[in-house]
A and B are shown apart, each in its own frame.
Chain A
Amino acid sequence: MTEMNEPPKGASPGGDGVEPLVKVRGIDKHFGPVQALYGVNLDLPAGQVTGLCGDNGAGKSVLTRCIAGVHQPDHGQIYFEGRPVHIRSARDAAALGIETVYQDLALADNLDIVQNMFLGREPLRRGLLDEDSMERQAAETLSTLRVTTVRSIRQPVASLSGGQRQAVAVAKAVMWNSKLVLLDEPTAALGVVQTQMVLDLIKRLRDRGLAVMVISHNLNDVFEVADRIAVLYLGRMVVEGPAADFDRQSVVSYMTTGTSSGRPYEPSTSASGEG
Chain B
Amino acid sequence: MTADPGETPAGTAGDGMADLTLDAKVAAADVPPELVAQSLGQYLRAWWLQVRSGNSGVLPVVLAIVIVAVVFEAVTPEHAFLRPSNLVYIFGLSTVYMVLAMAETVVLLLAEVDLSVGAVALIGGVIAFKLVQQPGPDWPWWAAVLAALACCGVIGALQGTLTALLRIPSFVVTLGGFLLFSGILIVILGGADASVNLNSSVTNQRVIYDMVQGLIAPIVGWIILAVVVVAVGTALWLRSAARRRQGLVAPPLSLTAIRIALVAIVGVAVVIICTVNRGTSLVTVAGVPWVIPIVLVVLGAWTLVLQRTRFGRYIYAIGGNPEAARRAGVSLPAIRTWAFALCSATAGLGGILLGSFFYGEYSTNTADPGQLVLYSIAAAVIGGVSLFGGRGKAIHGVLGGLLIGGIAYGVSLLNLGELATPLEYILPGGVLLAAVLIDVLSRRGAGSVTHV
Contacts and interface: CB of A to CB of B under 8 A. Distances in A.
Whether chains A and B associate is yes
B13 A36 contact: yes
A147 B40 CA distance: 68
A32 B5 contact: no
Contacts of A235: 17
Interface string A41-84: 00000000000000011111110010000110000000000000
Contacts of B20: 34
B426 interface: no
Interface residues of A, number: 20
A36 B21 contact: no
What is the interface of chain A mostly: helix, strand, loop, or mixed? loop
A257 interface: no
Contacts, number: 45
B424 interface: no
A33 interface: yes
Nearest to A70: B5
A103 interface: yes
Interface in B1-24: 1-2, 5-6, 8, 13-23
B13 A71 contact: no
Contacts of B13: 30-32, 34, 36
A224 interface: no
B15 A60 contact: yes
Contact of A59 (B8, B15, B26): B15
B23 A32 contact: yes
A33 B22 contact: yes
Contacts of B6: 70
A65 B5 contact: yes
A33 B21 contact: yes
B2 A71 contact: no
Given A59-B15, A59-B17, A34 B5 contact: no
A104 interface: yes
Contact of B22 (A30, A34, A65, A103): A34
Nearest to A34: B13
Nearest to A33: B21
B21 A34 contact: yes
Contacts of B8: 31
Contacts of B14: 31, 36, 61-62, 65, 71
A33 B23 contact: yes
B363 to A, nearest CB: 48
A170 B1 CA distance: 19
Nearest to A31: B13
A104 B2 CA distance: 7
Nearest to B8: A31
Contacts of B23: 32-33
Contacts of A103: 2
Contact of A61 (B1, B18, B21, B26): B1
Interface in A7-38: 30-34, 36
Nearest to B19: A34
Contacts of B26: 32
A56 B21 contact: no
B2 A57 contact: no
Contacts of A32: 13, 23, 26
Interface in A158-203: none
Contact of B15 (A33, A57, A102, A104): A57
Contact of A62 (B2, B15, B18, B22): B15
Contacts of B17: 31, 34, 36, 57, 59, 235
A57 B16 contact: yes
Contacts of B5: 65, 70-71
A56 B26 CA distance: 23
A61 B22 contact: no
A57 B18 contact: yes
Nearest to A235: B17
Contacts of A36: 13-15, 17
Interface in A84-110: 102-104
Nearest to A184: B2
A62 to B, nearest CB: 4
Contacts of A58: 15
B16 A56 contact: yes
A113 B21 CA distance: 45
A71 B15 CA distance: 11
A118 B165 CA distance: 38
Nearest to B15: A62
Contacts of A33: 21-23
A56 B2 CA distance: 13
Nearest to A232: B15
B287 to A, nearest CB: 58
A57 B1 CA distance: 9
A57 B14 CA distance: 9
A32 B23 CA distance: 8
A71 B1 CA distance: 15
Contacts of A71: 5, 14
A101 B383 CA distance: 44
A102 B26 CA distance: 30
Contacts of B16: 56-57
A60 B17 CA distance: 11
A220 B304 CA distance: 56
Contacts of A31: 8, 13-14, 17
Contacts of B2: 102-104
A130 B348 CA distance: 58
B234 to A, nearest CB: 46
A57 B22 CA distance: 15
Contacts of A57: 15-18
Contacts of B19: 34
A38 to B, nearest CB: 12
Contacts of A61: 1, 14-15
A36 B14 CA distance: 8
A62 B12 CA distance: 13
A36 B12 CA distance: 11
Closest 8 CB pairs of A and B: A34-B13, A70-B5, A31-B13, A62-B15, A33-B21, A57-B17, A61-B15, A31-B14
Given A32-B13, A34-B22, A104-B2, 16 more contacts: A30-B13, A32-B23, A32-B26, A34-B19, A34-B21, A36-B13, A56-B16, A57-B15, A57-B17, A60-B15, A61-B1, A61-B15, A62-B15, A70-B5, A70-B6, A71-B14
Interface of A: 30-34, 36, 56-62, 65, 70-71, 102-104, 235
5 contacts: A31-B13, A33-B21, A57-B18, A59-B15, A235-B17
Interface of B: 1-2, 5-6, 8, 13-23, 26
